[in-house]
Chains A and B, each alone.
Chain A
Amino acid sequence: MHSETVAELIAGLKERKYSATELAREMLGRIQRAQPELNAFITIEAESALAAAAEADRRLAAGGAPPLTGVPIAHKDIFCAAGSRTTCGSKMLANFVSPYDATVVARLRAAGAVVLGKTNMDEFAMGSSNETSHFGAVRNPWDPSRVPGGSSGGSAAAVAARLVPAATATDTGGSIRQPAALCGVTGIKPTYGRVSRYGMIAFASSLDQAGVIARSAQDAALMLGAMAGFDERDSTSVDAPVPDYVGGLDRPLRGLRIGLLKEFFDKGLDPAIEACLRTALEALRAQGAELRDVSLPNLPLSVPTYYVVAPAECSSNLARFDGVRFGHRCEEPRDLKDLYERSRGEGFGAEVKRRIMTGTYVLSAGYYDAYYLKAQRVRQLIASDFARAFAQVDVLIGPTTPTVAFELGAKTADPITMYLNDIYTIGANLAGLPAVSIPCGFVQGLPVGLQIVGAHFAEERILNVAHRYQRETDWHARAPEAYR
């Protein structure tokens, strides 16, 4: 059961090859056995999962059950789930029990999915290696001495290790695509506004977007179809119909115009990764796609732009953690100021504090115009570059990450080194574009990711390209030896 995809599990449950309860028990067992090595979960919710699975079995027996009934999934611990501990990977929220459901959580429950637990993540989604989690680092199932990527490292590791067939995730600067690439799985960040952010703990509100990590584009399409759509509770949710993502998967690629970003293939890209990408591009060309070179001249400024905009929004969003209404409170505060300062100083980890302070600095008097306003103008230039590119091509393809998974501790000393891991993924967040990362080969036994970026609301198209590639290749179906 554990090696089956979401699509196969839906069929298996319908045909009564196994019950939802048997399936949940099997996967919970795998999660528990993997936990000492991978630490992919912050909370394992066996009791509520088995109750949900029993309910799924009743609905399956009664007939007319919704599409994902009985399918086991996990939520990144950034999504609030009523009655469930929701920590966001932080000491600040170590004991926070959400009083309500995120829209993503409610929709997947309504679709019948059975939640097995909450996955580990970088604290407040700030990190690219999952090493900033208060609950300990997650390890990569392909090599436990290496990181799974971040911030959705728990979701990516859990899917790669066949602990769940799919898991929710979020992406502010690459936090779905980068760990998907490093763990050899498929991860999609939808268009900004496509999936509701209600109940998803905010990091940088103009960049954050919820998506999914799964083992194939088909499974990602099944999950995204259940998650996407307008929500009046998110003021930036877009009121546009959700297409049938699964229905569009098989569309032939003849005539598809693929743009190769000059800046993505420029200096700094590992030649072994480039070789994997070139082979994949040939496979797409063999299906009738055309390759064209395009240039986004302002894209190299995406990292500095991001490290102004994201920390600025973070410093504002995280002001809500004050030790008064919820979250960590220091012992014996002398006065209100002491309560705020020590509760925050103790409750937040080093990277979160670094980003709050960066944001405070760039928004402060005398620096606001030079940094924040300047970054917003450069963001406009980057978005315009993408818009021009999409007038010439249908999708942009390039690497997801500059390297394969690195060793734990290798990049923790210098934050800039860590930030540069997201050099290929940040552009899509700044421009609000959908992008998917899919496995396209291995370098030294570690997975390589290929990124497909689409125009606004072109999720259907990028999933289609990913699926057509996955029909012809089996990189996405490979499993780490210890977790087959």
Chain B
Amino acid sequence: MYDFAPIFPKFQRHYHMSLRRSDIDNIARLARLALSEAEIPVYIDSLSRIIGLVSELDRAATGGVEPMSHPLAGQKQRQRADAVTESDQHELYQRNAPQVLAGLYLVPKVIE
């Protein structure tokens, strides 16, 4: 669970949810997505509809039901021995990098 409380104002949920500009700004910021001005009203409208759709779930009685995170019951996460199995191929992998220097990925300066 993300711990960004209280970024979203709590509002009463109802089936015709309407999100506000500030909600979309917050979601886009959390998702690290730059949106253009033209995109914002489109997402206010469509996300409001989607949240309205998923609010249908309120109709289901789920008391005592365990949340399902894996589609096959009883599957256990496999573990492998903590041993080296792969060779170093950073040069191959870095061929797809936008900017590399001396085997390092370059990003804008973070600390002045």
Contacts and interface: CB of A to CB of B under 8 A. Distances in A.
Contacts of A482: none
B53 A360 contact: no
B62 interface: yes
Interface in B1-60: 1-8, 10, 13, 23-24, 27-28, 30-36, 39, 42-43, 46-47, 49-51, 53-60
A416 B36 CA distance: 23
A416 B80 contact: no
A232 B98 contact: no
Nearest to A322: B32
Contacts of A319: 32
A462 to B, nearest CB: 17
B66 interface: yes
A368 interface: yes
B8 A354 contact: no
A473 interface: no
Contact of B108 (A307, A333, A380): A333
A348 B43 CA distance: 14
Contacts of A380: 65-68
Given A323-B98, A339-B108, A432 B53 contact: no
A329 B99 contact: yes
Interface residues of B, number: 64
Contact of B57 (A235, A323, A360, A378): A378
Given A192-B71, A235-B78, A336-B108, A357 B5 contact: no
Interface string A309-338: 000000100010011111111000111111
A456 interface: yes
Contacts of A322: 32
Contacts of A334: 108
B24 to A, nearest CB: 7
B14 to A, nearest CB: 12
A191 to B, nearest CB: 8
Contacts, number: 199
B30 A364 contact: yes
A380 B57 CA distance: 13
Contact of A365 (B3, B23, B70, B72): B3
A430 B70 CA distance: 9
Among the interface residues A95, A337, A353, A361, which one has the most CB atoms of the partner chain B within 10 A?
A361
A367 interface: yes
A379 B33 contact: no
Contacts of B70: 206, 236
Interface string B69-112: 11110010110100000000100111111110000010111100
Contact of A232 (B56, B80, B107): B80
Contact of A99 (B3, B4, B42, B89): B89
A194 to B, nearest CB: 10
Interface stretch (A2-10, A210-218, A264-272, A369-377): A369-377
Contacts of A360: 27, 30-31
B32 A341 contact: yes
Given A354-B46, A415-B49, A368 B62 contact: no
A333 B8 CA distance: 28
Interface SS, B side: loop
A78 interface: no
Contacts of A307: 50, 53-54
A406 interface: no
Given A353-B35, A364-B8, A365-B3, A325 B97 contact: yes
Contacts of B50: 307, 354, 358, 415-416
A99 B96 contact: yes
A442 interface: no
Interface stretch (A173-181, A253-261, A298-306): A298-306
Contacts of A308: 54, 57
Nearest to A96: B96
Contacts of A341: 32-34
B30 A303 contact: no
A381 B99 contact: no
Contacts of B80: 232
A431 interface: yes
A328 B69 CA distance: 32
A195 interface: no
A268 to B, nearest CB: 15
B95 A97 contact: yes
Interface in A209-260: 232, 235-236, 238
B75 A238 contact: yes
Interface of A: 95-97, 99, 191-193, 206-207, 232, 235-236, 238, 298, 301, 303-305, 307-308, 315, 319, 322-329, 333-342, 344-346, 348, 350, 353-354, 356-358, 360-368, 370-371, 373-381, 383, 414-416, 419, 429-432, 456
21 contacts: A95-B96, A97-B95, A301-B57, A301-B60, A304-B55, A307-B54, A327-B96, A329-B99, A335-B110, A341-B32, A345-B33, A345-B34, A346-B34, A356-B33, A357-B31, A360-B27, A365-B1, A373-B67, A375-B57, A380-B66, A383-B71
